[in-house]
Amino acid sequence: MVTQRRAGARLEVRALSKTFELEGQEPLLTLDGVDLVAAPGEFVAVIGPSGCGKTTLFQILAGLESPSSGEVVIDGRHAENQLGACAFMPQRDGLLAWRRTIDNVTIGLELAGVRRQAARERAAPLLERFGLGGFESAWPWQLSGGMRQRAAFLRTVLLGKPAMLLDEPFGALDGITRSELQLWLLEVWSEVGSTVMLITHDVSEAVFLADRVYVMTPRPGSVAASLAIELPRPRTLELAESPEFGAHEARLRELLRTPRAAAIHADRA
């Protein structure tokens, strides 16, 4: 599927492919001609079966892996191999056991060359908004799962990048905490105004959070379809009970069941 180019796009992935060379084995084609677009301030979700290359895609966008072919464009500029071009929050929160909360959320700034005290001063006013007020000096083991994820997200936001990549940030949380953090994430995103790309295996989560959802095929991963989520904002938990929400869920589940057919249909359209 070839994604239509958008003027003023924040992030574009064009014909991106990735092959891993494995010792003693055949080369493994993981991504095959991925095309997608995210506009400034847009919330985009990426869903697809396990092993289809979603995390590899995000690692390339973050500059942690190099593509075999294709290109990444951020704000009109080519961004391949530029470590830190996007802020990346991986599946695990990555909090360091020997650093207190305030020093965990500022570690990205410190690695970028900001002095520790200056980084702390930048983070301090945001701790309360991120549900971490009063826990500045807490060790990671003293934080709940939800608080650890909020700390990881604050660490990501503080980098001030034009796009944030969130790789299943709520996948390990219980249902109640997950719902609470989804609402919280939408509130913070509306305030920050950044472009967000989210990997999730949860169709309901994709519909609830995103403006647009990209569906990927099984490995080698490519984009089978793109679905605009035409639901009002701000989103509420009650919205998930609406027929419109259910229709979007049903369409995405259908696309996930037959992703290759969806991609062929899109190419012929």
pLDDT at 25: 85
Report the pLDDT value the prediction gives residue 108, as an integer from 0 to 100.
92
Sign, CA torsion 156/157/160/165: positive
Which has the higher per-residue pLDDT, 172 or 224? Answer: 224
Question: What pLDDT is recorded for position 81?
Answer: 56
pLDDT for res 64: 87
| pLDDT average, residue stretch 38-63 | 92
Residue 42 has pLDDT above 50, yes or no: yes
Residue 115 has pLDDT above 60, yes or no: yes
Which H or E run includes 120? Answer: helix 116-123
* pLDDT value of residue 186: 92
- Name the percent of the chain lying above pLDDT 70: 91
Helix pair angle (145-157, 175-192), 10° resolution: 20
Average pLDDT, the chain: 88
Percent of the chain with pLDDT over 90: 62
pLDDT at 174: 81
pLDDT tens readout for residues 78-98 = 866 567 778 899 888 899 999
Residue 106 has pLDDT above 90, yes or no: yes
Higher pLDDT among residues 221 and 75, named by residue: 221
What's the CA gap between 203 and 26, in Å, rounded? 33
Cα–Cα distance for residue pair 112/114, rounded to 1 Å: 6
pLDDT by residue (tens digit) across 134-148? 999 999 999 999 999
